[in-house]
Amino acid sequence: MKSIIFSFLLLSTTLSLFPLTGFSSTFTSDNPIVLPTTTEDNGLPVLPEVLDINGEPLLIGQEYHILSAVWGAGGGGVYLTKIGNTKCPNAVVQHGRDTQQGMPVKFLTRLPTHPPFDVIRETNEVEIMFSIRSTPRCDNGTYWMVDNPDMTARGTRFVVTSAIKIVPNIWFNIEKLSKTLPFYKLRHCPSRSICPTCPCSDVGLTILKGYRRLALTNQPFMVVFKKVQKSTDA
């Protein structure tokens, strides 16, 4: 029943939001939605849990698809591919069709502060990785990171994958974009303890060579998270 209710709300709200996605500044970094908090018995604030499309909290180590919250022209899920002259695939891109769910990812968090400790919370520092097997020919890792400025693309900083965890390029967080529905954006937000002067930036989409590449932009990519259902077949 919970899944049916969320599916109905996602559809109705997406249809109302779609005409505004190209022009509205509601979801820009300058107009963030204020995050609600709860409080533990010791008075410390507890950040809200990040929810999947069924209203369940995101769990550390569980597989999910990252999908566009806008159906139809909003495209599908994210996946890993090879662009240009690289030996192995390392570009994080989005499918153009909403029927394509992309590759599963896993989330890891560096500092789980409140029980249950296997839950991802809004604005937690998280690492993201594709949950796919590497090959002997291409064992270049699947951890997401923000690359250095690409001067062939006007200095754009793309989201790529790597086997080496380069701090603070690997840290992201998840922020909610709707007060009632599980619509979120990804942000690259280096830890203040490591890089106090590093700014936070939204992860959006940039069209390059026919691909919808994830990159740091002024317009965030509005997403939902769908849990990967494991087969029960023997």
pLDDT value at position 32?
Answer: 47
pLDDT value at position 163?
Answer: 86
79 exposed, middle or buried (CB, 10 Å; 0-12, 13-18, 19+)? buried
Query: What is the dihedral sign for C-alpha 19, 23, 29, 33?
Result: negative
b or e along 166-192 (b: 16 or more beta carbons within 10 Å of the residue's beta carbon)? eebbbbbbbbbbbeebbbbbbbbbbee
| pLDDT, one tens digit for every residue, the chain (234 residues) | 444 444 444 444 444 443 333 333 333 444 444 444 555 555 567 899 999 999 999 999 999 999 999 988 899 999 999 998 888 899 999 999 999 999 999 999 876 667 788 999 998 889 999 998 877 777 668 999 999 999 889 999 999 999 888 878 899 999 999 999 999 999 998 777 777 787 889 999 999 989 999 999 999 999 999 999 876 554
Query: What is the dihedral sign for C-alpha 8, 13, 16, 18?
Result: negative
**pTM score of the predicted model:** 0.80
pLDDT value at position 1?
Answer: 46
**DSSP structural state of residue 50:** P
